[in-house]
Structure 1
Amino acid sequence: MIVRIATRGSKLALAQAREVAEALRSLRIESEFVIVRTKGDRHRDRPVKELGPGIFEREVNLTLLEGKADLAVHSMKDVPTVVHEDLVLAAVLPRASPLDVLVSRVPLDRLLEGAKIGTGSPRRRGALLRLYPNLRFSDIRGNVDTRLEKLRRGECDGIMVAKAALERLGLDCVGFHCKTFLPDEVVPAAGQGAIAVFATKDSPYLSVLRKMNHERSYLEVSLERSILRELGAGCSTPLGVHSKIVGSEVRVLVGLYESDPVILDRRYDVSDLRSIPRDIVSQLKR
């Protein structure tokens, strides 16, 4: 039997789908891709906030719900916190770097006042403004390699991208300067760096997917998404949430990058995972 994997057709999405296919192959299961063109792919000239939530996810999951695929693969950060009731997050692969990278034509400390950074992310804009208040911003859409090409053409002075995307595409900073931000400098998006595998609740592959699942990564991204859900935050909220489990302790970073940014850095016992989202929200509302 061949497992059908629903995925977008971008280079990054296919690279992620191949990671899932390799994990299945290690369990002696073959697979094939079902390529889906999403709303986000069809309207690359429009800002993400105008298109609403789930623009890279909805049609891929619909393919799964319609029985045209067996699994759906996503960048975890692109998946809304509420998905269709018949779907389940069945596996998370070992998480790649969750960090953000500023790719620029000159070193960051030489960027002129008023330099223009291309990003459509309210979180990235707010985080950079907190560190470098003299920067300007322009909306920029497209795949990572498209955005790098716009940078080469001088349409902006820098772009902000996920380090995991650069690594998965095998891209480096040759010809550019890259500044990688630590989580307490720029709090990553919830789920950033993680590959999510969704299936239907009655899928015959759930037991197989459990074998693929990386438990720590699953717990971290689930906690981050629970905090988003508790806050009622969406893709237009300038919010970063990052967690890291080490031993019996979990460190949680939250960055709310509004006009008066709020950064929380808290540590909890892993046994308290269920109560953490409510505690974080209560602290943000003080």
Structure 2
Amino acid sequence: MVGIQTAGDRHRGHLGELGGKGAFLREIDRALLAGRADVAVHCLKDVPGDVPRPDELVFAAYAERDDAADVMLFPAVSKIRCLADLAPGARVGTSAVRRRAQILRLRPDLQVEYLRGNVDSRLARLDSGEFDAIVLARAGLTRLGIDRPGETLDILPAVGSGVLAVECRRADADVVDLVRLLDHDKTRRCVSAERAMLHGLQGHCNSPIAGNARIDRNGRLTLRGMVFTQDGSQFVHAQDSAPPDKGGDLGARVAADLLHKGARTLIDGIPH
């Protein structure tokens, strides 16, 4: 195991100051390319859609998707257990502009404030009374074995939510073949649609873009996409479906539909 602390881990300010979520990848990419590591694991939602990946690297596997939901947690001593019960002006912590926009759509009276750090530090700040609620990914809580009361929010997840992407050097055929044993076909098909949509929108790290694909009971691949203003007061929505092997085409269509409805104006109106 090769432990790497990335610029995104070290920096405590806004990720936009480092050029976005790519700050979690650059040092890891260099370790792979230099041969200091053979395999890397990423939370796919942290892989930007507007920054080309190195041609020498490949995502050889997408592990089966965990629960992609966002969950709102409350201080351990609080009797409040749902978004609706928060008082006007309550402080909600999250690092995701996508979550911020959707929470403010539901509750424009709340104060949604920037919160970064590992899960333990975020929970500590919540329980100290600094926030009235925070929002985290359920998949991350589950992977860490953290089980505490909270509310699953009815908001659209980030592209790649709940998916671990396993990356290696394209030229290392034996390693690629080994890693591919971890690949989950349905997850890969869903991811292909979501990532194609994200690429088509060319959003930056401050773009409130949400997208989620699923294979329905009829075997069709369905993709929902949304783009918001930062305060959630304006948004565009698109949904379409396709055969499961046409994820790339589906993502491109949904992106085009969102752009036709004004997504470019919403994205370009938000500073990097």
Offset at 1:37? 0.9
Structure 1 unaligned segments of length 5 or more: list them. Answer: 1-32
Structure 1 distance, partners of 2:253, 2:239, is 12
- What residue number does 1:98 align with? 68
1:217 is matched by which residue type in structure 2? T
1:279 is matched by which residue type in structure 2? R
Q: Does structure 1 conserve the Cα–Cα contact (< 8 Å) formed by 2:61 and 2:183?
A: yes
- What residue number does 1:38 align with? 6
- What residue number does 2:200 align with? 230
Structure 2 distance, partners of 1:155, 1:36, is 30
Offset at 1:214? 0.8
More off after superposition, 159-168 vs 274-283: 274-283
1:193 is matched by which residue type in structure 2? G
Offset at 1:269? 2.8
Structure 1 distance, partners of 2:42, 2:119, is 16
1:282 aligns with 2:226: no
- What residue number does 1:213 align with? 183
* 1:169-208 map, 5 Å: 169-173=144-148, 177-181=149-153, 185-203=154-172, 204-208=174-178
* 1:10-89 map, 5 Å: 33-44=1-12, 46-53=13-20, 54-81=22-49, 82-89=52-59
Structure 2 distance, partners of 1:210, 1:56, is 23
Q: Does structure 1 conserve the Cα–Cα contact (< 8 Å) formed by 2:65 and 2:162?
A: yes
Structure 1 distance, partners of 2:248, 2:161, is 21
The equivalent position to 1:266 in structure 2, one of 215, 224, 240, is 240
Q: Does structure 2 conserve the Cα–Cα contact (< 8 Å) formed by 1:239 and 1:254?
A: yes
TM-score normalised by L of structure 1: 0.83
2:202 is matched by which residue type in structure 1? G
1:248 aligns with 2:219: yes
2:257 is matched by which residue type in structure 1? Q
Q: Does structure 2 conserve the Cα–Cα contact (< 8 Å) formed by 1:130 and 1:261?
A: no
- What residue number does 2:264 align with? none
Offset at 1:107? 2.2
Structure 1 distance, partners of 2:120, 2:204, is 26
Structure 2 distance, partners of 1:266, 1:154, is 43
Aligned-residue sequence identity (percent) comes to: 35
Structure 1 distance, partners of 2:241, 2:3, is 41
2:15 is matched by which residue type in structure 1? V
- What residue number does 2:228 align with? 257
Q: Does structure 1 conserve the Cα–Cα contact (< 8 Å) formed by 2:190 and 2:247?
A: no
Structure 2 unaligned segments of length 5 or more: list them. Answer: 262-272
Q: Does structure 2 conserve the Cα–Cα contact (< 8 Å) formed by 1:231 and 1:281?
A: yes
Offset at 1:38? 0.3
Q: Secondary structure at the match of 2:124?
A: helix
2:168 is matched by which residue type in structure 1? A
The aligned length equals 247
What per-residue deviation string (whole Å, max 9, x for no partner) do you get for residues 48-98 of structure 1? 222213111111121001110110111111112321111111111111011
TM-score normalised by L of structure 2: 0.87
What per-residue deviation string (whole Å, max 9, x for no partner) do you get for residues 6-33 of structure 1? xxxxxxxxxxxxxxxxxxxxxxxxxxx1
CA RMSD of aligned residues (A): 1.4
1:116 aligns with 2:84: no
Offset at 1:248? 2.4
- What residue number does 1:16 align with? none
